[in-house]
Amino acid sequence: MNVDDLPTPALVVDLDAFDANVATMAARWPATTLRPHVKAFKSTALAGRLAAAGHVAFCCATVREMEGMAAAGLGHDLLLANEVLGPAAERLGALARSGEARVTAAVDSDATVDAAADAGVTEVLVDVNIGLPRCGCHPADAGRLADRCRSRGMTVRGVMGYEGHLMREPAAAKATGVKQAGELLLTALEATGGDVASGGGTGTWSTNEWATELQAGSYCLMDTEYVAHAPEFAIALSLSTTVISSSPAWGVLDGGLKCLGMDHGNPTVLGAGECLFVSDEHITVGWRHGDWLEPGSRVRVLPAHVDPTVAYHDRMHVVHDGEVVDEWPVDLRGW
Amino acid sequence: MNVDDLPTPALVVDLDAFDANVATMAARWPATTLRPHVKAFKSTALAGRLAAAGHVAFCCATVREMEGMAAAGLGHDLLLANEVLGPAAERLGALARSGEARVTAAVDSDATVDAAADAGVTEVLVDVNIGLPRCGCHPADAGRLADRCRSRGMTVRGVMGYEGHLMREPAAAKATGVKQAGELLLTALEATGGDVASGGGTGTWSTNEWATELQAGSYCLMDTEYVAHAPEFAIALSLSTTVISSSPAWGVLDGGLKCLGMDHGNPTVLGAGECLFVSDEHITVGWRHGDWLEPGSRVRVLPAHVDPTVAYHDRMHVVHDGEVVDEWPVDLRGW
């Protein structure tokens, strides 16, 4: 099927761009020095491609992703790079006890250490705050938490930290900041023991010198916001839409808020004008002079944020030379 | 089950608030003078409640919603308040021909008239632009399009128009604007023939004097943005989250960009501080002085935009007096 025969709206992956992104990353971070972050694509079919490229250890943001990766036979070494408590911790422990996957959990507090231990998780990373106001213990508390983990019978594989506050910094500030963040994390690693310093992301893939494994996921598909901060990777993801209404001044595409993560702003409309605003099931485009498209025309749209865009869709259509050659289910949605 | 025992993140509906919203709207727009807009909740279980309250005619934004409503036995009178072409039009025609639902399509161009007729749709409304730069023909073109519909063997039930550009105007400007928009639509109705003038929404429920049927959906569940423009309705929808990480300055909740439509900005955190930013699976909250919550605490979050929030979830948990009394699948997602 030609890509222009897909029912719209449809999420489309350019296979050449995807393959090039995978190769670029693998040249710098080969095999398990990359721990691809499943949250960016939520698809075991896509993850399988990365495993075939040698990246057989993954990280996840939700227990649902962990369970789905294990069920798909991709459970060689799964890190839940997030804290869990209550029912989510219990499910994680059940997965670890099942033997279907090697499960490592992030912990950053007494409560999350105890939840992991109580649930039957046996391996952890101590999550250390290295500058982003989100999860992670104070660096000075990492050693104490590691001792608590060991006292509960768990193995401390090392530490993780995410320098997410630096992804969008200019090059010089990014280099300095990432180095300082790494010093915090490596000092914490001395206190915790273990040999893993997991961290980084697409935005620091070429800056980060300290991660023993890079947690990057967005690089596979990319978006209009991230490409400014990691220009070595191409935008492989787009939304195929149809013009459903048209006037001389503006037109309306059949994609909308339920196709697109909007926290990074409006999408970019290719070749047909400017996105004026996005409604639930519509994108209103101001035509450029002379570019008035008739109803039925196809228009490609580039999302501004890959992760929350993919999470709205149940599949991605993989395209090569204009032909749909594969379909990757987005099978890891939900929690 | 108590609401605080739900696995998080979980979308929660306060049944009392929902029932009050339904009653408030039905008092002004009883029976089929209201055509509830399914796009706001995408759930046949919720729609069934509205049908039981007398609102047995619905409007939809996607063919998937039309098909799902028909399959759920809610096809008494379904309007697709949107333009369709190509495969979507063919599916709509198949639904009309199946006899499982009364199907009316919106048309606003020669192309959409022909697509409806070719597909076997037999009833239409002419969609008229009354001020919002989105779908709808120029008012002066409505009569010609109606003639074209009849020449293709279709019945013109009347017109529809959406004064969506006025939902957020101050009261006086809204009243004037809605009146003028209605004059445009009623003039077009004279030209098209038929007896339906479908339009309006939650934001103009008390201002619109001209719609023969109001297309409101957000009023059922509401959100923090809409409540300023229709304060007679209560916010019935919230996200239940768990604190998964906490420091003296900030805490992290286990909901994020994949739980929340973000085009209207950050959600509102109830009782625990201010939303600082939202990540894929995290909400970082700046604690208020003295309000530092420990990991494991439950926090309720109010979405800023109901429609794209619901579209991320596969179910809503219905709560009465703190107990989960029902579950409404969000079964109309996708296209």
Which residue ranges form the domains of chain B, and what is each CATH number? 3-11+233-329 (2.40.37.20), 30-215 (3.20.20.10)
pLDDT for the residue B291: 78
Minimal Cβ distance to A134: which of B62, B279, B305: B279
Q: What is the ipTM of this complex?
A: 0.96
Sign, CA dihedral A21-A24-A25-A31, equals positive
Picking from B87, B261, B335, the nearest residue to A257 by CB comes out as: B261
| Contact between chains at B244 and A84 (C-beta distance less than 8 A) | yes
Q: How many CB atoms lie within 10 A of CB A117?
A: 21
B82 interaction partners in chain A (CB closer than 8 Å): 244, 254, 281-282
Which residues lie closer than 8 Å to A48 by C-beta, 6 or more apart? A72, A74
Nearest CA in chain B to A313: B334
Q: What is the 3-state secondary structure (H, E, C) of chain A?
A: CEHHHCCCCEEEEEHHHHHHHHHHHHHHCCHHHECCEHHHCCCHHHHHHHHHCCCCEEEECCHHHHHHHHHCCCCCEEEECCCCCHHHHHHHHHHHHHCCCCEEEEECCHHHHHHHHHHCCCEEEEEECCCCCCCCECHHHHHHHHHHHHHCCCEEEEEEECCHHHCCCCHHHHHHHHHHHHHHHHHHHHHHCCCEEEECCHHHCCCCCCCCEECCCHHHCCCCCHHHCCCCCCCCEEEEEEEEEECCCEEEECCCCCCCCCCCCCCEECCCCEEEEECCCCEEEECCCCCCCCCCCEEEEECCCHHHHHCCCCEEEEEECCEEEEEEECCCCCC
Q: Report how far residue B161's alpha carbon sits from residue B131's, in angstroms, rounded to the nearest whole number.
A: 9
For residue A292, what pLDDT is reported?
87
Q: Is the peptide bond before B133 cis (omega within 30 degrees of 0)?
A: no
| Chain B CB contacts of A261 below 8 Å | 257, 262
Question: Is residue A198 within 8 Å of A188, Cβ to Cβ?
Answer: no
Q: Are the beta carbons of B330 and B25 closer than 8 angstroms?
A: no
Contacting residues of B for A262, CB less than 8 Å apart: 261-263, 308
| Minimal Cβ distance to B83: which of A86, A87, A244 | A244
* Whether the model pTM is above 0.95: yes
Res. A192: pLDDT tops 80: yes
Query: Which of B6, B226, B281, B306 best probes binding to A when mutated, by most A CB atoms within 10 angstroms?
Result: B281
- Report pLDDT for B77: 98
- Residues of chain B short of pLDDT 50, as ranges, are none
User: Which pLDDT score is estimated for B128?
Assistant: 98
DSSP conformation letters of B96-118: HHHTSS-EEEEE-SHHHHHHHHH
Tell me the pLDDT band of A167, cut-offs 50, 70 and 90. Answer: confident
Subunit contact B111:A276, Cβ cutoff 8 A: no
A151 contacts: CB under 8 Å, gap ≥ 6: none
How many C-beta atoms surround the C-beta of residue A321 within 10 A? 9
What is chain A's mean pLDDT, rounded?
97
The number of C-beta contacts closer than 8 angstroms across A and B is: 156
Give residue-wise pLDDT tens across range A84-133.
999 999 999 999 999 999 999 999 999 999 999 999 999 999 999 999 99
The count of C-alpha atoms lying within 13 angstroms of the C-alpha of B27, restricted to the half-sphere facing its C-beta, is 8
Contact assignment for A88 to B62 by CB distance below 8 Å: no
Nearest chain A residue (CA) to B141:
A247
Q: What percent of chain B has pLDDT over 90?
A: 96
Give residue A288's pLDDT: 84
Q: What is d(CA A213, CA A201) in angstroms, rounded to the nearest whole number?
A: 10
Chain A CB contacts of B9 under 8 Å are: 335
Please list every residue in chain B whose beta carbon sits closer than 8 Å to the beta carbon of residue A112. 244-245, 295
Identity of the amino acid at B103: V
- Given an 8 Å threshold on Cβ–Cβ distance, is B308 in contact with A258? yes
**Does the pLDDT of residue A291 top 90, yes or no?**
no
Rounded CA separation B166/A263 (Å): 24
Closest Cα of chain A to B237: distance in Å? 18
Question: CA distances (Å), B32 to each of B29, B79, B121, B127, B185, in order?
Answer: 8, 12, 22, 19, 19
What pLDDT is attached to residue A67? 98
Inter-chain CB proximity B263 and A257 less than 8 Å: yes
List chain A residues with CB under 8 Å of B245.
83, 108-109, 112, 127, 134-136
Please tell me which of the candidates A257, A262, A284 has its beta carbon nearest to residue B134. A284
How far apart are the CA of A16 and the nearest CA of chain B, in angstroms?
Answer: 27
CB contacts, 8 Å: A83 with chain B: 244-245, 252, 254, 295
Contact assignment for A138 to B247 by CB distance below 8 Å: yes
- Tokens representing A219? 């690089």
Please answer yes or no on whether A282 and B135 come within 8 Å at the CB atom. yes
Residues of A in contact with B244 (CB under 8 A): 82-85, 112, 135
Quote the pLDDT of residue B272: 86
Give the distance from residue B132's alpha carbon to the nearest chain A alpha carbon, in angstroms.
Answer: 10
pLDDT the model gives residue A261: 97
Contacts of A282 in chain B (CB under 8 A): 82, 134-135
Give the mean pLDDT of A182-194: 98
Q: Is A53 exposed, middle or buried (0-12, 13-18, 19+ CB in 10 A)?
A: middle
Quote the CA–CA distance of A73 and A101 in Å, as a whole number: 8
Per-residue confidence at A319, pLDDT binned at 50, 70, 90? Answer: very high
